[in-house]
Structure 1
């Protein structure tokens, strides 16, 4: 009796571990840059996991077929904690910026917060928000992890 239940529990554990592993591989390897018909933006980073203090290159790409209009020179870029608390937004001026289809803008983040402190380890959400020529909101975000 003991050996049958042991085999069943070990089998369930192996199957569960395999299923969770496949799910996590699919989540981590999602493509950041997908071109579509209509309005779309993509946020692209070199990788998803960064060491603490490592410079992070963030590209905002117009991955659609219409221009995207932003209300400032930061192209709507915001970096927040998962709780939604703003950690960093590049200095911007209230000047209308436009990103043509296929074009991109690049920002570098040195992991410092707006008030000068360094970011802690954890998960961060990078997002950008703009509008298409018809006034419809276009948003995109991605999540990165900062490790020790």
Structure 2
């Protein structure tokens, strides 16, 4: 303890040093209560608004990713539904067209058969006429040859 007092004496410190030390400690606690607590509140608020928002931003980003994925799946689902509807309508249209083609084909085939029958009937009539003429020509030829 003597060494400490000798050091203080060599530095020229006297009893006012302790008064000054007491004043510094009192001012420290007074400033701590009035300024430092407010400064700490401001620093905490700043940290909450800056670094802690990073966590909120990550949460919002993850939420946006989920919404994007949901949108994409619903869009794919809507595209598949649209494709199935288009395919269904196309198939219905094709079956309807095939049905119409078959009806027209059947009608044309029946018309062709009728025309063929008419043609064959005419051909038969012409054939019988030609054969009759051939018979009459052959009998005339025989008559001319025999005469």
Query: Is TM > 0.5 for Structure 1 vs Structure 2?
Result: no
Instruction: Give me the TM-score of the superposition, normalised by structure 1.
Output: 0.25
Instruction: Give me the TM-score of the superposition, normalised by structure 2.
Output: 0.26
Question: Highest CA radius of gyration, 1 or 2?
Answer: 2
Which has more strand, going by share of residues? 1
Q: Which has the higher relative contact order, 1 or 2, with Cα contacts under 8 A spaced 6 or more apart?
A: 1
